[in-house]
């Protein structure tokens, strides 16, 4: 099993990494405002290809190290599932998928960047791949808003909360059958996060409540900033 590693939030290393990620996201979002080539239909496709290549490299790197396994390397965490949806949206935008991705992507990326937990470890490419995949989620969310005229539909936050229950059920069954911990349904994350409270299964109920609060907050925040 690959040992999870964490980065201390608000450490010098954390500030450097987050600063670089935010700078890259800002540049990619701003470029279409000033350059014609960045307004072409190939621009979002390039973003999707970047996310896909990153996923393939991560898995290829794990295979090369001889540590790839079904229990940890499948994209079945919330951010992994969001990454798949994000790629689809960049290749071909679909509003129904975008309504779900917006909440998944924003919630997953913000917490993953605030309190980084490297579920594949920090060795070699895994370190860079983590920030590409999670920063990419936030980037795609912002790209949809600024360049694809996306806006969360009325009640979409509540519908997404209902949809995530299906993911929890399916992934939970998979975890049970394979002794995995995707979506942290078998064990809580090891990262020091004050929002992770209680032992199994109580922390999952806290996650559920927090998911509902986050989805509602992101829905309202969009309305406020709009």
Instruction: Check residue 1 and give its pLDDT.
Output: 62
Q: How many residues does the chain have?
A: 226
Instruction: Check residue 126 and give its pLDDT.
Output: 94
CB neighbours of residue 13 within 10 Å: 11
Can you state the percent helix, strand and coil of the chain, rounding each to 5? Answer: 70, 0, 30
Instruction: Check residue 206 and give its pLDDT.
Output: 87
What residues pair up with 6 in beta bridges, in sequence order?
117
Instruction: Check residue 197 and give its pLDDT.
Output: 64
Instruction: Check residue 5 and give its pLDDT.
Output: 87
What residues pair up with 117 in beta bridges, in sequence order?
6
Check: CB of residue 200 under 8 Å from CB of residue 186: yes
Alpha-carbon gap, residue 197 to 216, rounded angstroms: 21
Assign residue 81 a region (left: φ > 0; alpha: ψ between -120 and 50; beta: otherwise): alpha
Instruction: Check residue 25 and give its pLDDT.
Output: 97
Instruction: Check residue 225 and give its pLDDT.
Output: 77
Q: Which residues of the chain have pLDDT under 50?
A: none
Verdict on whether the full-model pTM lies above 0.85: yes
């Amino acid at each position: 099993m690959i040992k999870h590693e964490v980065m201390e939030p608000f450490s010098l290393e954390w500030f450097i990494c987050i600063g670089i990620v935010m700078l890259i996201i800002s540049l990619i979002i701003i470029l279409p405002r000033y350059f014609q080539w960045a307004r072409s239909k190939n621009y979002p496709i390039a973003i999707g290809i970047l996310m896909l290549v990153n996923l393939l490299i991560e898995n290829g790197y794990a295979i090369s190290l001889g540590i790839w396994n079904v229990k940890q390397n499948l994209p079945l965490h919330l951010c992994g599932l969001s990454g798949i949806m994000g790629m689809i949206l960049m290749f071909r935008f679909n509003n129904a998928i975008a309504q779900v991705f917006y909440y998944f992507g924003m919630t997953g990326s913000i917490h993953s960047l605030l309190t980084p937990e490297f579920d594949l470890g920090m060795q070699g490419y895994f370190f860079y791949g983590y920030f590409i995949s999670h920063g990419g989620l936030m980037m795609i969310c912002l790209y949809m808003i600024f360049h694809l005229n996306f806006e969360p539909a009325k009640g979409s936050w509540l519908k997404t909360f209902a949809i995530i229950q299906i993911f929890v059920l399916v992934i939970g069954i998979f975890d049970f059958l394979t002794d995995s911990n995707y979506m942290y349904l078998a064990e809580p994350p090891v990262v020091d996060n004050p929002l992770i409270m209680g032992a199994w299964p109580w922390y999952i109920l806290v996650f559920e409540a927090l998911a509902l609060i986050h989805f509602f907050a992101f829905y309202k925040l969009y309305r406020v900033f709009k």
